[in-house]
Amino acid sequence: MNTRRVAIIGAGAAGLVAARELIRVGHEPVIFEQSARIGGVWVFDPAIDDDPSGRQADKPVYSSIYASLRTNLPRDLMAFLDYPFDSQGGGQDDWPRFPHHRCVLTYLENFCRDFQLQNYLRCNHRIVSVRPESNSWQVTWDLADHSLTTETFDAVMVCNGHYSQPRVPHLPGIEHFKGRIIHSHNYRDAKAYQDQRVVLWGAAASGADISREIATTAAKVDWCGQALAGRQASVLPNPVHTHGEPIGFDPQGDLVLSDAERLTDIDVLMFCTGYEYQFPFLSNDIVSVEDNWVSPLYQDLVVPAYPTLAFIGLPYLIVPFPLFEIQARWFARWLAGQFNLPEQRQMEADQRAHVQSLRDAGIKTRHFHKLAEKQTDYFNRLSAQCGEPPLAEWFSNLTLLAQQARLASPNTFRDVPLSDEKTPG
């Protein structure tokens, strides 16, 4: 096997496990991290953007987690498959089943230490350009003094995450709104919303968690989203009133909803509308991002025309760390010659067929990377290609059990024991 020199962009969970998988098969990784430390999205920063709405920040903050955040998955699932989230791996036995974000960062720091990944790490290196040249890649970065340096690599793994650039959909008439606008990216705690009327838009996990937390201090909380139409408000003592999708503001500054209801006297509008994929260091000739869909990619992983360029961690609504791990293992083993990829034309044909199946199913373009209930099949498909066994039955069972608990008790599921006697240990 020929040793490959591989640039990894990002030192979050995806970048760290990518480095370990490369080392295991004899490659040489170099991990580039634009900040001063590892951890990616799990590094908490109390500061927020100079534009809280997330639309035109001149001095963006990359952290998107709030002070009280805990995982919405049990730590058994959060862990890499061979590095537990307890004293046998990078965690502690007395940590909560649904750990606080500080625990997750500690786990990643321990992972970096235990696998000696700091030897391959370059912090405060911001990638500005990744260009193909013959059978290699020219990777250019800058430092704090703005000096530019370029090196040649055999392959590149993009692990820069997708939870730092707020997605702010257009809302007609928003210029008439007289209150404050903020994206959940810039939410840190509920104290700033004392005695105010707060409207949140977005029915995913951040909207669910933040709406409940803000309700402990706000005068009234309204939570809006297409999936919330017809749902009952939460119970006392801190009710959250649910509504359908916003369609715009009227000239008086009232928010008009899809059922013609109007919300008046709003102090704060919070967008909980997710994040944008962005790769400013790559040419659009290599990959494009259309309505949050990154293409063209075979297996949501490699560019058919440039298979030595991999993207780790694009899928969402997943169990993240194990999925990053199998993606990284798949790519590392392919680089090592342990299995073959189809020819470029076949990968392109497979990718077109996959996209057509999504369109035929009525899935919106911005949800093309959404896996959810399809994640086990995706994991097992990659495992089979790279010679790994499928996911253990306990893992799929616990994933389903955690989802059921979250739906049944959205306010308390993190603190209610799970009846998962089939899990290991």
Distance in Å from the first CA to the final CA of the chain: 38
pLDDT of residue 85: 96
> What confidence tier does 420 reach under pLDDT thresholds 50, 70, 90?
low
- pLDDT of amino acid 424: 44
Q: Rounded to whole angstroms, what are the CA distances from 209 to 117, 189, 395? A: 34, 11, 25
Residue owning tokens 């098969």:
25
What angle is formed at CA 96 by the lines to CA 92 and CA 97, rounded to 5 degrees?
Answer: 100
Question: How confident is the model over 176-188, as a mean pLDDT?
Answer: 97
What is the percentage of the chain residues whose pLDDT exceeds 90? 86
pLDDT 10s digits, 70-88: 999 999 999 999 999 999 9
- The pLDDT confidence band at residue 55, using thresholds 50, 70 and 90, is confident
Residue 422 has what pLDDT? 43
pLDDT bin (cut points 50, 70, 90) of residue 252 is very high
pTM score: 0.94
- Mean predicted confidence (pLDDT) in 217-222: 96
Which pair of tokens denotes residue 213?
């937390």
Do the beta carbons of residue 80 and residue 322 sit within 8 Å?
Answer: yes
Checking if the pLDDT of 239 tops 70, the result is yes
Give the pLDDT of residue 1: 58
Question: Beta partners for 149?
Answer: 141
pLDDT of residue 100: 98
Smallest CA-to-CA distance from 177 within 90, 97, 271, 102 is with 271
Q: What is the DSSP string of 214-276?
A: HTTTSSEEEEE-GGGTTPPPPPTTS--EEE--EEEE-TTSPEEETTS-EE-S-SEEEE---B-
Kindly report, residue by residue over 330-349, the tens digit of the pLDDT.
999 999 999 999 999 999 99
Residue-level length of the chain: 425
Per residue in 286-327, pLDDT (tens digit) is 999 999 999 999 999 999 999 999 999 999 999 999 999 999
Distance set, CA 154 to CA 285, 339, 346 (Å): 19, 18, 23
The Cα 255–Cα 223 span in angstroms is 12
Q: What rounded mean pLDDT belongs to the chain?
A: 94
What local confidence, expressed as pLDDT, does residue 421 receive? 45
What is the token pair recorded at 197? Answer: 């009327």
Residue type, 252: Q
**Residue predicted with more confidence, 58 or 414:** 414
Strand partners, 151: 139
Q: Could you tell me the pLDDT band of residue 236, with boundaries at 50, 70 and 90?
A: low
| Residue appearing with tokens 């961690």 | 313
Q: 211 near 205, Cβ under 8 Å?
A: no
CA dist 224 to 227, 235, 272, 318, 322, Å? Answer: 8, 17, 10, 24, 32
Please calculate the CA angle 196-197-201 and round it to the nearest 5 degrees.
Answer: 130
Q: Where are the alpha helices (DSSP H) in 244-374?
A: 320-335, 344-360
pLDDT of residue 259: 83
Q: Are 271 and 201 in contact (CB under 8 A)?
A: yes
The listed range with the strongest mean pLDDT (2-6, 13-17, 59-63, 418-422) is 13-17
Return the axis-axis angle of helices 320-335 and 375-386, rounded to nearest 10°: 30
Collapse the DSSP code of 193 into the 3-class scheme (helix H, G, I; strand E, B; otherwise coil) and give the result: helix
The C-alpha R_g of the chain, in whole angstroms, comes to 22
Whole-number pLDDT of residue 235: 62
Q: How far apart are CA 46 and CA 31, in angstroms?
A: 26
Task: Label residue 408 by pLDDT band (50, 70, 90).
Answer: confident
Residue 147 pLDDT class (50, 70, 90 cuts): confident
- Does 18 have pLDDT greater than 50? yes
* Token representation of residue 88: 């046998």
Q: In what order do the strands lie in the sheet with 5-9?
A: 121-122, 28-32, 5-9, 155-158, 306-311, 302-303
Q: What is the DSSP string of 71-112?
A: -SS-HHHHSBTTB-SSTTTTS-TTS-SS-BHHHHHHHHHHHH
Residues of the chain with pLDDT > 70, as a percent, come to: 97
Query: Coil, strand or helix: which one is 129?
Result: strand
